[in-house]
Amino acid sequence: MDDVVRVRGLRKRYGGATAVDGLDLSVHRGEVFAVLGPNGAGKTTTMEILEGYRRRDAGEVSVLGADPHTAGREWRYRIGVVLQDVDDGRELTVAEIVGHFARYYPNSRPPGEVIDLVGLTAKARARVRTLSGGQRRRLDVAVGLVGRPELLFLDEPTTGFDPQARRQFWDLVRQLAAEGTTILLTTHHLEEAEALASRVAVLANGRIVACGDVATLGGRAGADATVRWLDGDRRCDERTADPAAVVARLTRFYAGPVPGLTVTRPSLEDVYLELIA
């Protein structure tokens, strides 16, 4: 497949501490790719190197066919960045901020369209310092989108969002992906990764400990299932590699529907916690 991001043997140290330790990564054109990991795993450092904000110590990095460390202005027109923490332009309005950044790009989206996309139309004339944390985060996303990027970096984009705002943002990410935008995001919300990403990578101590499709990560699809049911007032459960056989046995025993029947396999959270342990 056409790789928009290709990383081999990436390393970065800060003094005596290793932040990224021989990382290999590929992101395909048009996909939503999520990077998961605990604090200090190396997620943000990796993103900043890919964005061209931070120098690496070793390794090969190609983003949209160029080395981010030496790429020029034309390359930067093709990416969008939403940093983990931004605190500037406090006295400007939302419309002024988005309009200002729109002028940096040769083919930017209309600022009003972008403001509407991120749900800030009612706040277009509000000063940035008056926005809530979630509204400020939406503004950061608007700035990242305004240049019509081929590749969009989202570093924990829904921090501070309430559940409704988070799901509205997910709809926006799906819309951008449907339009052909490649999206690389980091998140601490496993539900978010499962809802948006086609593939995920799990980082721990600067290394990728697992990478693959969300449904099969860490052997998730082939893991034993847990069958649960009610026997009177007693909750029963059985772990099995063949849940269909257990359900068939219970159906015969109860001579019909099994009370309180559920069949579950390990969640993404279960697999993630096991991987980073």
Across 167-185, average pLDDT? 91
pLDDT band of residue 238 (cuts 50, 70, 90) is very high
In terms of residues, how long is the chain? 277
69-105 pLDDT, tens digit per residue, is: 999 999 999 999 988 777 777 889 999 999 999 999 9
Structure tokens at 215: 């449904």
Question: What is the identity of the amino acid at 63?
Answer: V
pLDDT at 1 over 60: no
pLDDT band of residue 276 (cuts 50, 70, 90) is confident
- State which H helix or E strand residue 44 sits in: helix 43-51
Measured between alpha carbons, how far is 151 from 133 in angstroms, rounded to an integer?
A: 25
Across 189-211, average pLDDT? 91
Q: What is the pLDDT of residue 133?
A: 80
Across the strands, what pairs with 207?
204
Across 178-189, average pLDDT? 92
Q: What is the pLDDT of residue 24?
A: 95
pLDDT band of residue 214 (cuts 50, 70, 90) is confident
pLDDT band of residue 221 (cuts 50, 70, 90) is low
| Closest by CA position to 149, among listed 116, 118, 177 | 177
Note the pTM of the prediction, 2 decimals: 0.83
